[in-house]
Chain A
Amino acid sequence: MQTWLPRLRRELFATPLDGLISLLLIGVLSALGAAFVHWMLFQAQWAVIQANSTLFALGRYPIEQQWRLWLLTALLTAATGLSWGLLRGRRWPANDRIAAGLVVALALLAPLLLALQPLIQLRWWLLTALLLLSRWAAGHWGAGLPPLLRRGWPLIWPLLYLAGLLLISGGLGLAPVPPSDWGGLLLTLLEASFAILLCFPMGVLLALGRRSHLPLLRWGSVVYIEFIRGAPLITLLFLGQNILGFLLPGGLAPDRVWRAAWVLTFFAAAYVAEAVRSGLAALPAGQLEAARALGLAMPQALIHVVLPQALRVALPATVGQFITLLQDTTLLSLIGLLDLLGTARTVMANPEFLGKNAEVYLVLAVLFWCCCAALGLGSRALEHRLNPNRSLTTTPQA
């Protein structure tokens, strides 16, 4: 029980100078921490968040249609729980227990903090139960499913994404909700996820194009990548609002929301391309040679040998790009869209909540941090899964 004391001594107070620095830092940090906690508890007025939580979440999405978003959330929750369970089986390793504990704690705490209505609070709890129940069910019975179903399961995500777009925008008998009514976290996540999903394949194609031996393809890719990387995103966002209407076929970019989504996609694709290119460059030339010498055609060699290895190397940089992209969506508020930041600015402009900027910005920062942390965790899990105890290098270097 006493082992922490000598360790503390060794790490913080090994020499007089170490001790002095440690004391100084402890003093500064505790003063800052105390001031922050005091502000959180006694000075901050959280009514601005409590009164506007729906606005922050959904923007001006019509109240009578909000059940569609609850349904979508339930579908996503169930799919997450099922995927989680299929991945882990019956085991509940420490990480899973911590994650489950955090989810439950959030479900219990959040309604209190946000002063939610009882009905919404109840839905929150039901969602939590759904997540854990589907995790348990998929873990318990997942192994008995036919292998085709298990292997094809990830296809649920693109299907759900399309279903989500349908639920959000309406059509097929659902009342249409125009994109101008989408807002808040909903709009932020929609723009970011759309751009992330599309910029990845585009980036891979651009990276391959940049290494192609066809001069037109190579130079086209280079010019595109360097032009995009040389221009600030905000400039491109304004440019896109003006030119995408006639550059893209009608229907693809009918309004400001979709034009912005395309600009984000085209912008991120250039950066993803560079990340993928670094992965391609890290691959020894012998890998492609061996694949070709075995008779694989170029597309087969790329799909089965080159890309699986290159993308694994490029994964951390690519996910870093996705995280940047998520944060870049805040620029949408500058072109007049009501994303999370745009919504926040309208709330702060409301005379009723004047001067509550600190509370609003803090909540925004925490929300963004949660989303980015989730992306980072997901990427690390994927990296780990792609690399179960195998060494990266094929060969010892002679």
Chain B
Amino acid sequence: MTSTAANPPASGVMIEARGVEKWYPNGYHALRGVDLTVHQGEVVVIMGPSGSGKSTFIRTFNALEDFQKGSIVVDGMPLSNDVRNIDAIRREVGMVFQQFNLFPHLTVLQNLTLAPVLVRKRPRAEVEQQALQLLERVGIQEQAHKYPGQLSGGQQQRVAIARSLCMEPRIMLFDEPTSALDPEMVQEVLEVMQELASDGITMVVVTHEVRFARKVASRVVLMAEGQVVEVAPPEQFFSNPRHERSKQFLSQIA
């Protein structure tokens, strides 16, 4: 993963969502015709009040949530009910969760090597080498043989990021990665994410961290009531939002 941030190839479309609608089984209309295009190397930050459907939306990208109408194409592969397609997409899309979701019965190193060995069928020794390098990159190589329960929240989330990277994904999804962290641990996770962004990996991030969005985002998306309200570059979105709903949201989080 060498630095390609200088000239992101603007042509490659990584995620193409068109008119996505989702109803939960209880009838709740969570997504009401959402469109979004994410280009290769872009960092798209999705903001919005809770219940606006932003988490649901990015969880449709790797089929953790299904949807009833519209279409999503990820890295050229259409999301359908075809299980093989879903598995292929999941191999290329990494996800970092609010609750980390590390596997508590495995060591940090085993958490990283599990999927590459099982899914990509790569030799264990080679994957372990790579895993140790990734742990070094997120600054916790000395914890490799501990269990997740022995780490702090910030360390756990950095392990979770390294675990996703170990699959060498083309897209990384972050679902409120710092929301479950104690305030003093937020920064260490954001720094790792910022470094990732500068390496040029395509990222879609649901977060409330305005400073991160200002500094790192290519574009900011505001969602409310299951719809996209505004899409704009960060400087424009934060200083001069066009929509009333955006202004209201920004005044609430400021």
- Please list the residues of chain A having a beta carbon within 8 angstroms of any beta carbon in chain B: 284, 286-287, 289-297, 300, 304-305, 308-309, 312, 386, 389-398
Q: Which residue of chain A has the shortest Cβ distance to B100 in the bound complex?
A: A395
**Interface hub of A293, A397, A398 (most chain B Cβ within 10 A):** A293
Q: How big is the B interface, by class?
A: 20 to 34
Binds A, one of B11-19, B128-136, B144-152: B144-152
Docked-complex contact A395 and B99, CB < 8 angstroms: yes
A287 vs B148: C-alpha distance in the bound complex, in angstroms?
13
Given contacts A295-B167, A398-B179, contact A390 B87 (CB under 8 A): no
Taking the nearest CB of chain A, how far is it from the CB of B197, in angstroms?
A: 20
**Interface hub of A294, A308, A393, A395 (most chain B Cβ within 10 A):** A294
Docked-complex contact B99 and A286, CB < 8 angstroms: yes
Q: Which residues of B contact A393 (CB under 8 A)?
A: 104, 149
Q: List 6 A-B pairs, Cβ < 8 Å.
A: A294-B90, A295-B91, A300-B118, A304-B114, A395-B101, A395-B102
Q: Which residues of B contact A396 (CB under 8 A)?
A: 153, 180
- Please list the residues of chain B having a beta carbon within 8 angstroms of any beta carbon in chain A: 62, 64, 87, 90-91, 93-95, 97-105, 114-115, 118-119, 147-150, 153, 156, 163-164, 167, 179-180
Of B101, B105, B150, B156, which is within 8 A of A286 by CB? B101
Q: Which residue of chain A has the shortest Cβ distance to B120 in the bound complex?
A: A295
Docked-complex contact B90 and A290, CB < 8 angstroms: no
Given contacts A391-B150, A394-B99, A395-B156, contact A294 B104 (CB under 8 A): no
A395 vs B119: C-alpha distance in the bound complex, in angstroms?
25
A56 vs B98: C-alpha distance in the bound complex, in angstroms?
61
Taking the nearest CB of chain A, how far is it from the CB of B22, in angstroms?
A: 17
Given contacts A286-B101, A287-B101, contact A294 B153 (CB under 8 A): no
Q: Which residues of B contact A395 (CB under 8 A)?
A: 99-102, 153, 156, 180
Docked-complex contact A390 and B104, CB < 8 angstroms: yes
Q: Which residues of B contact A294 (CB under 8 A)?
A: 90, 94, 114-115, 119, 163-164, 167
A391 vs B167: C-alpha distance in the bound complex, in angstroms?
26
Taking the nearest CB of chain B, how far is it from the CB of A247, in angstroms?
A: 35
Q: Which residues of A contact B180 (CB under 8 A)?
A: 395-396, 398
Q: Which residues of A contact B102 (CB under 8 A)?
A: 290, 394-395
A81 vs B191: C-alpha distance in the bound complex, in angstroms?
54
Of A292, A296, A309, A397, which is within 8 A of B104 by CB? A309
Given contacts A286-B101, A393-B104, contact A297 B87 (CB under 8 A): yes
A287 vs B103: C-alpha distance in the bound complex, in angstroms?
7
A396 vs B64: C-alpha distance in the bound complex, in angstroms?
22
**5 closest cross-chain pairs (CB), A and B:** A391-B149, A290-B101, A294-B115, A390-B147, A286-B101
Q: Which residue of chain B has the shortest Cβ distance to A391 in the bound complex?
A: B149
Of A304, A386, A398, which is within 8 A of B99 by CB? A398
Given contacts A395-B156, A395-B180, A398-B180, contact A312 B100 (CB under 8 A): no
Docked-complex contact A293 and B95, CB < 8 angstroms: yes
Docked-complex contact A390 and B101, CB < 8 angstroms: no
Q: Which residues of A contact B105 (CB under 8 A)?
A: 308-309, 312, 386, 390
Taking the nearest CB of chain B, how far is it from the CB of A258, in angstroms?
A: 37
Q: Which residues of B contact A392 (CB under 8 A)?
A: 104, 149
A313 vs B105: C-alpha distance in the bound complex, in angstroms?
12
Docked-complex contact B90 and A292, CB < 8 angstroms: yes
Q: Which residues of A contact B119 (CB under 8 A)?
A: 294-297, 300
A294 vs B98: C-alpha distance in the bound complex, in angstroms?
16
Taking the nearest CB of chain A, how far is it from the CB of B92, in angstroms?
A: 9
A293 vs B147: C-alpha distance in the bound complex, in angstroms?
21
Docked-complex contact B150 and A292, CB < 8 angstroms: no
Of B62, B94, B97, B115, which is within 8 A of A296 by CB? B115
Taking the nearest CB of chain A, how far is it from the CB of B168, in angstroms?
A: 11
Q: Which residues of B contact A287 (CB under 8 A)?
A: 101, 103
Given contacts A293-B95, A294-B167, contact A284 B118 (CB under 8 A): no
Q: Which residues of B contact A295 (CB under 8 A)?
A: 87, 90-91, 115, 119, 167
Taking the nearest CB of chain A, how far is it from the CB of B61, in angstroms?
A: 10
Q: Which residues of B contact A308 (CB under 8 A)?
A: 105
A62 vs B15: C-alpha distance in the bound complex, in angstroms?
76
Docked-complex contact A394 and B91, CB < 8 angstroms: no
Q: Which residues of A contact B115 (CB under 8 A)?
A: 294-296
Q: Which residues of B contact A297 (CB under 8 A)?
A: 87, 119
Q: Which residues of A contact B103 (CB under 8 A)?
A: 287, 290-291, 305, 309, 394
Docked-complex contact B90 and A391, CB < 8 angstroms: no
Q: Which residues of A contact B148 (CB under 8 A)?
A: 390, 394
